[in-house]
Structure 1
Amino acid sequence: MPDATLAEGLTVGQVSARLDVTVRALHHWDDIGLARPSLRTRAGYRLYTAGDLERLHRIVVYRELGLDLDRIRAVLDGSTVDLPAALRAQRAQVAQRIDRLRQLGAGLDRMIAVHERGLLLTVEQQAAIFGPEWNPDWPARARQRYGDTTQWQQYAERAASRSPEEWQAIADAVADLDRALGDAVEAGVAPGSAEANRLVERHREVFGAYFPLTRQMQVCLGRMYEADPGFAAHYDGIRAGLATWFRRSVDASARAHGIDPDTATWQ
């Protein structure tokens, strides 16, 4: 059936609705001579004919394919543009964007998984990297306890792209630090001494693999290492009295940097 409305000419608003194109875009295309309406009302309002609408359809198609307006003009006006070559070039760009979007999608999947699970390693990988005492339930428990904190978000952002080899390097750094802390206790290194302070700084550096650790936050960790039975057992298992020695060393370092460990908070 003939479209009586189209035969009389379509207004800008009607064309906008039919083609799902903004009125602003239609006005712009008119202003630059890309798609000008053939008719005007007595009041000067634009009216688009069937031929105008066909041209607009083609503009919309090529624009959705990613061609810029100058290239579209050349195509529609029959310039010497090699359309197949132009479309192939556009297709290559689209393929690149699709590949990039797939990479982004994979990254989002990893980010979601690490936020929810805490660690993107199999149970076997965890045991091989962190040792037989490692409990694979610990990451999920940590997520339940700290999942709404900024530090968990920072940890997840780093862990999402971390390989098993990178986790192994972190585990080795932690093990080396634990041995150095134990050796310091055995050697009688005093909290507040230059050697103890170097170990406190090393702890902050190693722990920074998880999230940035401020001195006040380190004081809070020192308290937890001494007071929490699980952490205390771990550190005192390395060397008797290590949990208390480490807390005292962190406190002494904090004081040297103008922080009162008695009032330090997680910030």
Structure 2
Amino acid sequence: MPDAADADGLTVGQVSTRLGVTVRALHHWDEIGLARPSLRTAAGYRLYTAGDLERLHRIVVYREIGLGLDEIRAILDDSTADVPGALRAQRTQVAERIGRLRRLSAGLDRMIDAHERGLLLTAEQQAAIFGPRWNLDWPAQARRRYGDTTQWRQYAERSASRGPQEWQAIADAITGLERALGDAMDAGVTPGSPEANQLVERHREIFASYFPLTRQMQVCLGRMFEADPGFAAHYNGIRTGLATWFRRIIDASARAHGIDPDTATWQ
């Protein structure tokens, strides 16, 4: 509470320091008639009395709990104002803001975890969704290898909003694509044919679940699928020679879009 013993004759600057409000705010409250100083010096400077300071203190209290200036004016000047009702309404708004902030905090936690871990699933969930051949170390390895890239950031942003059901849908889509690739190779589908190009486009669409994939980037992935022992073993485990066939249909599709697979880069 303000000390009335020395309050009479306080300047705007002194009141600003005492109450922790800006001089600009005090001038504004004066201009709108919310809190006018009762005294003036001979030179016309504002001076606040103990009563003025008491009113200002009450304004500051109500401002700190989020009431608007019009609401504060009604509480201070209208004897019929429903003060408890106004405060209850403000409490409701505060509770709603707290709820929004808690949800924001939870979202930030998930985003941080996604950037650091990549996959926000338990070991049990990963095994159930991706199958027994899934290696729990793969997300951490990907983070170490690609964590400073734009694609990792895009992947993390998508991962933060996904739960087990969304990941299951992606896993099912990949399984379906790999089955279709194997069947197409068995059926003698040739690179550059409409059927092969459709599979390449399907791959790009599914891969967009992780991050946007350009045709040049897809060519680079095709090379990796064939050359990397882990990826090659995976695709060749579906059908013997599938890794090379998959790379060839990606290259043929790229050529049809004016891209030279031999010079394509990750861009």
TM, length-normalised to structure 2: 0.95
- Give the aligned partner of residue 89 of structure 1: 89
Contact in 1 for aligned 2:37/2:52 (Cα 8 Å):
yes
Cα distance, 1:52 vs structure 2: 1.1
- Give the aligned partner of residue 198 of structure 1: 198
Q: What amino acid maps onto 2:223 in structure 1? A: R
Q: What amino acid maps onto 1:164 in structure 2? A: P
- Give the aligned partner of residue 264 of structure 2: 264
TM, length-normalised to structure 1: 0.95
CA distance in 1, matches of 2:182, 2:19: 73
Q: What amino acid maps onto 1:180 in structure 2? A: A
- Give the aligned partner of residue 213 of structure 1: 213
CA distance in 2, matches of 1:258, 1:11: 76
Q: What amino acid maps onto 2:187 in structure 1? A: A
CA distance in 2, matches of 1:99, 1:86: 20
* Structure 1 residue matching 2:7: 3-state secondary structure: helix
* Structure 2 residue matching 1:36: 3-state secondary structure: coil
Q: What amino acid maps onto 1:232 in structure 2? A: A
CA distance in 2, matches of 1:43, 1:247: 87
Cα deviations across residues 28-82 of structure 1 (Å, max 9, x unaligned)?
1111111111122232222222111111111111111111111110111124221
Q: CA RMSD in A?
A: 1.5
Q: 1:10 to 1:265 in 2, by over 3 A?
A: farther
Cα distance, 1:141 vs structure 2: 1.0
Cα deviations across residues 98-153 of structure 1 (Å, max 9, x unaligned)?
11111111111111112112211111111111011100111111111111112111
- Give the aligned partner of residue 25 of structure 2: 25
- Give the aligned partner of residue 236 of structure 1: 236
CA distance in 2, matches of 1:68, 1:80: 18
- Give the aligned partner of residue 129 of structure 1: 129
* Structure 2 residue matching 1:265: 3-state secondary structure: coil
- Give the aligned partner of residue 187 of structure 2: 187
Cα distance, 1:6 vs structure 2: 2.4
* Structure 2 residue matching 1:94: 3-state secondary structure: helix
CA distance in 1, matches of 2:33, 2:257: 69
Structure 1 unmatched runs, 5+: none
Asked if 1:6 is matched to 2:7, the reply is yes
CA distance in 1, matches of 2:11, 2:248: 80
Asked if 1:165 is matched to 2:157, the reply is no
Cα deviations across residues 9-38 of structure 1 (Å, max 9, x unaligned)?
222222222222122111111111111111
CA distance in 1, matches of 2:81, 2:257: 69
CA distance in 2, matches of 1:127, 1:145: 22
Cα distance, 1:5 vs structure 2: 5.0
Contact in 1 for aligned 2:4/2:50 (Cα 8 Å):
no
After TM superposition, the structure 1 stretch with the greater mean CA deviation from structure 2, 165-174 or 10-19, is 10-19
* Structure 1 residue matching 2:232: 3-state secondary structure: helix
CA distance in 1, matches of 2:97, 2:46: 37
Asked if 1:56 is matched to 2:45, the reply is no
Cα deviations across residues 169-209 of structure 1 (Å, max 9, x unaligned)?
11111111111111111111111110010000000111111
- Give the aligned partner of residue 75 of structure 1: 75
- Give the aligned partner of residue 175 of structure 2: 175
- Give the aligned partner of residue 252 of structure 1: 252
- What are the within-5 Å matches in structure 2 for residues 93-132 of structure 1? 93-132=93-132
CA distance in 1, matches of 2:67, 2:153: 39
After TM superposition, the structure 1 stretch with the greater mean CA deviation from structure 2, 250-259 or 134-143, is 250-259
CA distance in 1, matches of 2:181, 2:25: 68
Structure 2 unmatched runs, 5+: none
* Structure 2 residue matching 1:196: 3-state secondary structure: helix
Q: What amino acid maps onto 1:156 in structure 2? A: A
